[in-house]
Copies of this chain bind each other. A is one copy, B any other.
Amino acid sequence: MMKNLPHKTIERLSQYRRALLICLEKGQTHIYSHEIAKIQHITAVQVRRDLMLIGYTGTLRKGYNVKDLIDLIGNIIDSTEGINVAILGMGNLGRALINYFAGKRSQLKIVAGFDINPDKIGNTMSGVPCYSSEDMNRIIKEKNIKVGIMTVPADFANATADQLVKAGIRGILNYTPKPVNVPDNVYLEEYDMITSLEKVAFFVKINDE
């Protein structure tokens, strides 16, 4: 069920929820499709279409119930039992991420970090214990870690991905600038900030011409 949602819809659902949570905090109970659209810089039709795909029905003229919609999105994209996550490489970026995620989403719990620096191993960072990369296999199995976020130096990207795969990881989010190879049964998402910046720079240039 809900297996055939477009990839882009999944991304947007996550974004909608993020915005909706802010609305909820402010005490807003209902929201119109065009309000969500404005926040996300997309069209209201797009929002309604996405919500149609997940079978959510709002109230005519009143819009969508913020809380209900948050819950439904959760039902669709979250796993009921939650998902345990590990950070590979507790350097600048790893630390920034741990900090950012801390207490953000109960469904996605960062339960372990890994590093090779003896000064870091054994310590905790914002409540996340740092283990030796040598123990990766054991810890990942023990803690039932399903997803790994890679923030190791680029030169260690491939080796780390291999280790993760061997330990039975199910998904990898790779922030290393080095693309890695994983088998088909492991979901891989790669992101590089330079690409985003170069894209912005390109369109700035184009707009100038």
Interface 9-residue window, one of A45-53, A57-65, A93-101, A135-143: A93-101
**Closest B residue, CB atoms, query A182:** B41
Give complex CA distance A19, B194 in Å: 12
In the complex, the answer to whether A191 meets B198 with C-beta atoms within 8 Å is no
Across the interface, A187 reaches (CB within 8 A) one of B149, B170, B188, B204, namely B204
In the complex, the answer to whether B204 meets A147 with C-beta atoms within 8 Å is yes
- Say how far A169's CB is from chain B's closest CB, in angstroms: 9
Q: Chain A 78-99, CB within 8 Å of chain B: the 1/0 string?
A: 1100010100000011011101
List, in ascending order, chain B residues with CB within 8 A of A198's CB: 10, 14, 77-78, 105, 108
Give complex CA distance A18, B176 in Å: 12
In the complex, the answer to whether A194 meets B96 with C-beta atoms within 8 Å is no
- Say how far A143's CB is from chain B's closest CB, in angstroms: 15
List, in ascending order, chain B residues with CB within 8 A of A201's CB: 77-79, 83, 107-108, 146-147, 171
Within 8 A of B (CB), among A160-209: 170-173, 177-179, 185, 187-209
Contacts A193-B100, A199-B10 known; A18 to B177 CB distance under 8 Å? yes
- Say how far A5's CB is from chain B's closest CB, in angstroms: 9
Q: Is A119 an interface residue (CB 8 A)?
A: no
Contacts A95-B92, A170-B208 known; A195 to B83 CB distance under 8 Å? no
In the complex, the answer to whether A100 meets B104 with C-beta atoms within 8 Å is no
In the complex, the answer to whether A171 meets B96 with C-beta atoms within 8 Å is no
List, in ascending order, chain B residues with CB within 8 A of A185's CB: 207
Please give the residue numbers on chain A whose beta carbons come within 8 Å of chain B beta carbons, in ascending order: 3, 7, 10-11, 14-15, 18-19, 22, 39-41, 77-79, 83, 85, 92-93, 95-97, 99-101, 104-105, 107-108, 146-147, 149, 170-173, 177-179, 185, 187-209
